[in-house]
Amino acid sequence: MSGIIGKKIGMTSLYNADGSAVACTLIEAGPCVVTQVKTVETDGYQAVQLGFGEKKEKNTSKPLAGHFKKAGTTPKRKLVEFKTFEQSLNLGDTIDSTLFAEGEFIDAIGTAKGRGFQGVVKRHGFGGVGGQTHGQHNRQRHPGSIGACSFPSRVFKGLRMAGRMGNNRVKIQNLQVLKVYPEQNLIVISGSVPGAKNSFVILEK
């Protein structure tokens, strides 16, 4: 499907016609350069590779430098493949925020913030065990029982427990494009998008 690489700028809010505030995310969508066009004959599958974000030449390996030179562009920080595109693209073409129109719905893919090792209350939304009555004094945020004793004599796989949280790929679907600013290559989409500020985001139609 058609898509573009962007950078998360931050969150803000817009007002609807009825006066209600809508939380939204500001994203710098492109411009992206077509760095490779893959075909079934040469690569075994069909895809378009896009590059986004400037990268210093001294930090670019020689194979990648030749790859970008073939496309007639400067080294890019982020490369992403898209399987299908609505329009036919050639090597070196540029795609910007005009790919999206106001009112349409898109999907956003990003890497969630890494939270490190977290307990069950923050990681899974547990309510904690009991209150501070009946003689207990140190079990407020603990998970409680994790299984029976004699049968089945083990802890089931997938049981929600404490552990590392975040830093994983997250896809949010059906976010509406509220505004498009082609001059600055900015788009405003409803809701939140995974990732920290200035992190890369993939937007798909």
Domain ranges of the chain: 3-122+169-204, 123-165
pTM given for the model: 0.82
Per CATH, which fold does 3-122+169-204 belong to? Elongation Factor Tu (Ef-tu); domain 3 (2.40.30)
Instruction: Calculate mean pLDDT across residues 71-92.
Output: 85
Residue 131 pLDDT grade (very low, low, confident, very high; cuts 50, 70, 90): low
Residues 35, 73 contacting (CB under 8 angstroms): yes
State pLDDT tens for residues 133-157: 667 777 788 888 898 888 989 999 9
Distances (CA, A) of 200 to 18, 52, 91, 157: 33, 9, 22, 33
Residues 80, 6 contacting (CB under 8 angstroms): no
Q: What is the dihedral of CA 175, 178, 183, 184, to 10 degrees?
A: -60
Give 91 or 9, the one with higher predicted confidence: 9
Residue 132 pLDDT grade (very low, low, confident, very high; cuts 50, 70, 90): low
* pLDDT of residue 129 exceeding 80: no
**Mean pLDDT taken over the chain:** 89
Instruction: Calculate mean pLDDT across residues 12-35.
Output: 90
d(CA 163, CA 154): 19
Selection from 23, 27, 20, 4 nearest residue 190 by Cα: 23
State pLDDT tens for residues 97-121: 888 888 899 999 999 999 999 999 9
